[in-house]
Amino acid sequence: MSRVQTRARAMAAPRQTRAGAGLRGVQATLDWGGDDGLVAGVDEAGRGPLAGPVVAAAVILDPSVPIEGVADSKALTAPQREQLHDRIWAHALSVGVGVASVEEIDQINILQATLAAMQRAVAALRLRPQLVRVDGNRLPTLPVRAEAIVGGDATVAAIAAASIVAKVTRDRVMDEAHAAYPAYGFDRHRGYGTPQHLQALRSLGPTPWHRRSFAPVAQVLRERGLV
């Protein structure tokens, strides 16, 4: 396991928060599972950024213990995600996290790296699900039955929970990138290609956290004669 993978798994651990603060119940609109036995939801965070790893999470929820406030991570504020992240770890039947590093992304491309991170997340579950539901339209190769659900993070509770775990875990990893390279603003844009990030990239050059295979980074490398 790489250093990034090890650190990301450590950062997935819950932090103490004020339970329930700022959360609203929306789980009534979500599918909390049916008669398929143990169902895991899988989602990822970090496919689009120019820097940092891609992180996937797999979550098996306890249908008898709905977690109030679970929703697509993109519809939540950062404090809400942090609070829900810890509640998911506390009340889910099982949670797994998988990571694909920047080096792996550059070697095998972001799609394959994302699928690999999803495989690792499912493998990290301490319980074996009978069904895995994955957000999106592509499935990783898994040893159990799986289905892809476009927009699943907005309709399936386990996928929504996985989206929260993946997002919070990756944000914590990018906080480490910010600590190492504060001039780039990783704590704000999380590696995405914002104007601020692109300006820092052009002015300061790429860091080890940058994905060399992504066009804006590759262009700066060429301009600086580094490739």
Q: How many helices (H) does the chain have, and how many strands (E)?
A: 8, 5
156-192 per-residue burial string, b: 16 or more CB within 10 A, e: under 16: bbbbbbbbbbbbbbbbbbbebbbeebeebbbeebbbb
Spelled out in words, what is the top-level CATH class assigned to the domain 3-179? alpha beta
Residue 166, token pair as written in the block: 């993946």
Would you state the pLDDT for residue 3? 56
Q: Which residue has the higher pLDDT, 4 or 196?
A: 196
Report the chain's mean pLDDT, rounded to a whole number. 89
**pLDDT tens-digit readout, 6-60:** 556 556 656 533 323 333 333 334 454 555 689 999 999 999 999 999 999 999 9
Write down the domain spans for the chain.
3-179, 182-223
In 73-156, which residue ranges form alpha helices assigned H by DSSP?
Answer: 78-91, 102-108, 110-123
- In eight-state DSSP terms, residue 175 is H
Distance of CA 98 to the CA centre of its chain: 9
Question: For residue 77, is pLDDT > 50?
Answer: yes
Tell which residue, 77, 99, 103, has the closest CA to residue 17: 77
Q: Which amino acid is at 224?
A: R
- At residue 31, φ and ψ (nearest 5 deg) are -85, 115
> How far is 213 from 179, CA to CA, in rounded Å?
24
With beta carbons less than 8 A apart as the criterion, state whether 41 and 162 touch: yes
**Least confident residue range of 25-39, 90-104, 158-172:** 25-39
Is the entire prediction scored with pTM above 0.75?
yes
